[in-house]
Structure 1
């Protein structure tokens, strides 16, 4: 008896090859796929931590700009911006290996603005990734207006 494709098929008395046993193939596939799944999980966690770091640094820049805008002198504004950024990041639990805070006070006049930039370098090696020294630098910047009706800082002269 022939099949429609013309293949005569197995003959009577012919020895068929033994049927393969699939037992254990699922555990083998899992053993091969597990490292890839763990790597994908670590990458997702790393991206999540990078986004969280960006949010923390942006919040620190915003609060530092607001604190700087309340000061009377550019020097005091820069010092308060640096202190406020460090405090906000510490309260958020963010440890920066290299924290740089710069306050742009060129337009520090009534009605002007102060802009603060915060750079924070964090370490990602606690994720268990086997590459030591993985660091990520996050930058946040914010501006805050100065009160247009505030008095100019006292220049020390007689009224």
Structure 2
């Protein structure tokens, strides 16, 4: 029986050697296609997250700069938040639940304004990759308040000035 098995294996090897590897490229493509599609979807996922991170970074940076040149704390908060939301909208980033946090530190000369922007990125449309739900992307930027900036002057009207 051992002799029969050897003869059968030898015949099989001769047949494989004679026909070469015909059809193996079809098998390779069939095996590699799902892997390549998965890799492509992973690249799309990474690209989306990087693009959103850049947009959120720009929003935080612009908002911090806008807040640092405002004249009052209230104006700094309002203008910084509005700038962040406008930047996200201008970059076609739909973040209806974007969170903007502004810290002015008293808006004192030599101080800094810090703005944090958070945005939830939906990932559910990448169904084939199996990524669940969404991901929150956050960025924080700080802009210094000019040390030599002046303060808003409150000029009095002639009727309220003290007379000598």
**TM-score interval, normalised by the smaller of the two chains:** 0.7 to 0.9
Change (3 A) 1:155 1:118: farther
Q: Which structure 2 residues correspond to residues 18-97 of structure 1 after superposition, within 5 A?
A: 18=12, 19-20=15-16, 22-97=21-96
123-132 vs 25-34, which deviates more?
Answer: 123-132
* 1:124–1:97 Cα change, 3 Å: farther
Q: 1:33 deviation in Å?
A: 1.3
Q: How far has the Cα of 1:104 moved from its partner?
A: 0.6
- Match of 2:125, SS state, is helix
Find the counterpart in structure 1 of residue 141 from structure 2: 142
> Are residues 143 and 156 of structure 1, via their aligned partners in 2, closer, same or farther at CA, if it must alter by over 3 Å?
farther
Q: Is the 8 A contact 2:42 2:129 kept in 1?
A: no
Unaligned segments of structure 1, at least 5 residues: 1-13
Q: Is the helix fraction higher in 1 or 2? A: 2
TM-score relative to the length of structure 2:
0.75
CA RMSD of aligned residues (A): 2.7
Moved more, 137-146 or 19-28: 19-28
Q: Which runs of 5+ in 2 are unaligned?
A: 1-6
